Amino acid sequence: MRDSELETLEARLGHRFASRQWLERALTHRSHSAEADAAQQDNERLEFLGDAVLTLLASEFLIDRFPDWTEGQLSKGRARLVNAASLAAAARRLELGRFLRLGRGEEKTGGREKPTLLADAFEALIAAVYLDAGLAAAAEVARRALFEPALHEQPELLSRSDDKSALQEWLQARGRAPAEYCVVAESGPDHCKTFTVEVRIEGESVAVARGGSKKEAELAAAQQALDRLLGSEERKP
């Protein structure tokens, strides 16, 4: 890869690497390594490290940004902030796909646009920045490339309201009909029932979940539906 291409990506990240070997490794998919020099390292180990680094950085970001949130709200917000769909969306904002080093087979099957591959590469990139310049540098890149854009473009990702209310807000903001909740099954004795609830949006089944009460099952179904809708929206080009 030419130095000019790496410089373009560095400019988008807002980080200039002291050791570009980390950047090159973060961009190298295992399919490329398999076809190239056997000694060439791919980005899988960086991906593993990046997952842990992002979990820490997202936790710190949310604690600082939302000082009155409960532990449960923080956990839910973090899960949505660093899920695969959010990471793939961040990678697309950086146009990370164009910089990846792929094998011929992966190239032919559209690897540069695969959400899972993009999400993995973004994790590897965060790890590369961390190894190159430390946690503060990685935090700044994550904030600029992932956290702040997610808050701006998808505020529902970090909604404080319960999941039924958050789903309703998401639908209203897009001019869509309210969600409908239907109990599709009940099981167990009266003192220990399990309810299965389906959530439908404009006649389409979006999610099904179980709970020890109708309310619990509805909240679980709403959470699944919201996560699915947010992920679908982020995957759009």
Catalytic residue numbers? 51, 123
List, in sequence order, every residue forming a beta bridge with 179; answer none if it has no partner.
201
The domains of the chain, with CATH numbers, are 3-157 (1.10.1520.10), 161-234 (3.30.160.20)
Q: Alpha carbon of 178 to those of 26, 165, 167, 198, 224: distances in Å?
A: 43, 10, 9, 14, 16
Supply the pLDDT for residue 38. Answer: 53
Residue 213 in this model has a pLDDT that exceeds 70: yes
**The tokens of 63 are what?**
């604690």
What does the pLDDT look like over 73-98, one tens digit per residue? 888 889 888 988 889 999 999 999 99
What does the pLDDT look like over 12-54, one tens digit per residue? 999 999 999 999 999 998 887 666 665 568 899 999 999 999 9
What does the pLDDT look like over 102-159, one tens digit per residue? 888 778 888 788 898 999 999 999 999 999 999 999 999 999 999 999 888 777 666 6
Which of 236, 228, 235 lies closest to 80 in space, CA to CA?
Answer: 228
Task: Provide the whole-model pTM.
Answer: 0.71
Name the CA dihedral angle for 84, 90, 95, 99, rounded to a multiple of 10 degrees. -60
Contacts of 76 (CB under 8 A, 6+ apart): 223
